[in-house]
Each structure stands twice: as structure tokens, then as C-alpha cells.
Structure 1
Amino acid sequence: MKIEKFVELSFGENIYILTDEETNKCAIIDPGGAEIKIQNYLKTNKLEVEYIILTHSHGDHIGCVKSLKSKTNAKVVAHIDEKELLLDNKKNLSYMMQCGPQEFDADIYVKDKDKLKLGNLKLTFLHTPGHTKGCMCVRVLNEMFTGDTLFAGSIGRTDFYSGDFKQIEKSLKKLSKYEDNITIYPGHGPHSTLGVEKSSNPYMGK
């Protein structure tokens, strides 16, 4: 398994490419920008894009989805509760971002604890509402993509449409039950581990 990270400079959003090195199948997680870098990486490494996975649907995380899908024919994956935002550029805030208004439907809508295979890897989706009502984290082995639910030392905002601070508190309690040695890859900022966040992130102890 390999994880490559790109950063969309306008909002500092992290884009990840998760690859099963045994099959060269990959998933692009939250492609909000950096499309040329992503395309070059895919071409150089001769990767087959099976999924475009969205931890949530804010414009800074979905800006390149339609373009990448048209070039790769990958299936777009999102949580079922995020459909409303995906289909409304005002609610997903893309209308006010550099990417411009973005509206589209996912190909696969998942629910809590649903699973997908990526080559020989098993992906598990964890519903973690709060930043948006359809926010989710994606676990594979001892790695977890936490989107804007959990950052290193902080959490995502809850004052946008469908955000809810009480919900994100519940989501953080849910994440706190997982193993300390899980590495988290957030939607913004550096990676961390659940153990570090449990011991030092002020929101994880609430």
C-alpha cells in the first residue's frame, strides 16, 4: 500500500492517492485541486483509478472531481447523507471558490461501516457527521483518512450548512475508540496518530 499526498494551495486542502501496489489500482481522495500534478503522478506510475472518494462535499474537496472522472472513468464514492450538498453548489460552497460551481451525483453512496475493495485492499467507511451531515472517514489497515472531521490538534468547522458541533463531538468519541497506532490523514494540515490526538487534541477529550 502506498499513500501520496498533494496540497491544493488556495485552501491548503490535502488530496491523497491511495494505491494497492500489488495491482496498481488506486483511489483519489478529496481532489479539490492540483489536477495536473495528479494526472502526472497517475501517468508516471501507470495507475488505474478505480474510485474518487469524498470524505465530504465542500468545494475545496471536490473541485476536480468531474474533470478527473471524465479522464479516468472512476466511480465517485460519498456517504448517502452528503447527496444533498453534492447536488447544490450553494450548500457545498463551491460557487464562491476558485473551482466554480460544482454539482454532480456520486456513483456509489455508502453508509456507516460499508466496505469496498480496492485491488487487494479493504476500505471501511465510517460515518462521522458534524462538519457536514454526510462527513465520513475512510479506514484501510492502520491508516485512516479523516477529512475535515479530525485534524492534527484541531477539528473541522461546524458553522457551515449541515454542520453540527454536538454531532462532531459524537463523531470524535466514535473515533477515540479506535486503536492508538492508527495514522490519520486529515483534509488539512499534517498527519498524526489517533493516540497523539487522544492525548493532546483538546476536542478529543470532550
Structure 2
Amino acid sequence: MSGGLVLKRVVVGVLATNCWILHARGDRRALVVDPGDEPGRILAAARGLDVVAVLLTHAHFDHVLAVPDLAAAWRVPVLAHPADAPVWPHEVAAARRAGHWDAGTATAELLARDPASLAFPAGAVLWDGAVTPVADGEILRVGPLEVRMLHTPGHTPGGVSLAVDGHLLTGDTLFPGGPGLTGPPLSDFPAIIRSVRRLLDLPGTTRVHPGHGPDTTVAAERPHLESWVARGW
């Protein structure tokens, strides 16, 4: 919590995705970001709030699996950048062929340890991919909060980060120690570096909340940017 913002983290799914629930202190209107799995836990965490929308920083499976249940329960729009439209169809097609989701560099380890953890859920109701588009610079009002959309492509073409009240929700664009993965199809390392440069231009005190793992700050990450460029990932 900081100032007027209440930010709740719910860690869900096989890749321990950070689902975020944000609202202003004393106000029930809330935004849910990246509901990656375990809809029951997210519903419980949002109990007592009036969710106004679900927002996706990007459309990889580990950020969207709970979308159908939650959108139906809350009857709210699903917001995403339109440039990410190819990502979810690609995720589903690849998973159908392989029989499991693609978890990037963690895939082999997860399949060796617990093959069922990534198994494609044949017969399950999957998200239909329908979104209400958001644009770079757009302001989403969540009660008294102003949440600014930042188009930060690279991990996916339509990746977005959210700036609100001195905090930054970066999805899989920026983590402690560097940018997100750019190995899978539809990703691009030079693009993510451009996006990270943009994020690191924000005030150093800005608190960074990534799509997986612990938080960091702009000031903590900014000195390392050129070393990330040099290593190429």
C-alpha cells in the first residue's frame, strides 16, 4: 500500500504468476490484472470489491487461464492491447499440438518434475480471446485512481505496463535483474529493450511489480540496463 493505492498480490498457477488487485483505499471499485489461474482464489481475494474490469498485461497462458470464469462471474470487460491479438491463438495452437503449454525456459524442468502441471486442458472452457482494446497513454479510471496504460512490447507485441500512484505493474516486461524472455515466437529483444528504457525513465522511487517474483524499483534496475543490452537477454 502507498498513499491512496491498495495493491494486493495473489500468486497463482504453475508459473507462480502475480495476479494484482488494485483499488483506492476506502473505495470498492477495483481492477484485476493478469488472472493467470485459480479463479476461486482470485474471487476470494476480491470479495467485498466491485471489480470494474480485468486487464491483461499480455496474453500468454499463465496470465489468462482464469479469465473465462472471472469475466463471467463479474460480468466485466477484458482489457488488452490489440497488438497482442495473435498471441493467445498461437498459445492454444502450440499447446494442442504439443499436448502441453509452453512455459519457455521452464518447460523441460516442469515436464520432468510434473507433466500434468503443464498439460493442455482438453475439453476445458478456454478464454475466447475477445478484448476491449486499450491504447498507449490511455487513462483507466478505477474509482479515484488514474491508471495509465504504457504499451511496452517485446515479450509480446501488445505487452502493456500500468503506471499508478508511483507504482508500475510491468507484466513480463521488466523484472529484478532484467527484461522478460524474448525467445518464444512473437517476441523481440530490441523491442523489449526500448520498452525497458521507457520504463526506466520514470522516477527512481517508482515501485516495480512484475508478473512473477518479487518487487523492485526503477532506481535499483536503471544502472544495469547497458549490461542487459550487452548480454543480449
TM-based fold match above 0.5: yes
* Bigger strand fraction: 1
Asked if 2 retains the 8 angstrom alpha-carbon contact of 1:113 and 1:124, the reply is yes
1:154 Cα deviation (Å)? 2.4
1:100 and 2:104 matched: no
User: Which residue does 1:56 correspond to in 2?
Assistant: 58
Asked if 2 retains the 8 angstrom alpha-carbon contact of 1:7 and 1:34, the reply is no
1:63 Cα deviation (Å)? 0.6
* Bigger helix fraction: 2
Within the candidate set 202, 205, 216, 1:192 is matched to 216
User: Which residue does 1:73 correspond to in 2?
Assistant: 75
Identity fraction in percent: 28
Amino acid at match of 1:187: G
1:203 and 2:207 matched: no
1:61 Cα deviation (Å)? 0.3
Alignment of 1:8-157 (within 5 A): 8-43=12-47, 46-90=48-92, 96=101, 97=118, 100=121, 102-157=126-181
Asked if 2 retains the 8 angstrom alpha-carbon contact of 1:22 and 1:119, the reply is no
1:107 Cα deviation (Å)? 3.6
1:183 Cα deviation (Å)? 0.3
Would the alpha carbon gap of residues 91 and 130 (structure 1) be closer, same or farther in structure 2, given more than 3 Å must change?
farther
Would the alpha carbon gap of residues 149 and 35 (structure 1) be closer, same or farther in structure 2, given more than 3 Å must change?
same
Residues 142-164 of structure 1, C-alpha deviations (whole Å, 9 max, x = no match): 01100000001122110112100
Q: TM-score, normalised by structure 2?
A: 0.80
SS in 1 for 2:121: coil
SS in 1 for 2:58: coil
Aligned-partner Cα distance in 1 for 2:95–2:170:
20
Within the candidate set 174, 191, 194, 1:170 is matched to 194
Aligned-partner Cα distance in 2 for 1:99–1:129:
26
Within the candidate set 206, 210, 217, 1:182 is matched to 206
Residues 130-149 of structure 1, C-alpha deviations (whole Å, 9 max, x = no match): 10111110111101100000
> Where do 5+ consecutive residues of structure 2 fail to align?
102-117
Amino acid at match of 1:108: T
> Which structure is larger by alpha-carbon Rg, 1 or 2?
2
Q: Which runs of 4+ in 1 moved over 6 A?
A: none
Aligned-partner Cα distance in 1 for 2:58–2:34:
8
Aligned-partner Cα distance in 1 for 2:148–2:86:
22
Would the alpha carbon gap of residues 86 and 5 (structure 1) be closer, same or farther in structure 2, given more than 3 Å must change?
same
Amino acid at match of 2:37: G
The Cα RMSD (Å) is 2.2
Amino acid at match of 2:228: Y
Aligned-partner Cα distance in 2 for 1:156–1:193:
16
Aligned-partner Cα distance in 2 for 1:99–1:78:
23
Query: How many residue pairs were aligned?
Result: 204
Amino acid at match of 1:50: V
> Where do 5+ consecutive residues of structure 1 fail to align?
none
SS in 1 for 2:191: helix
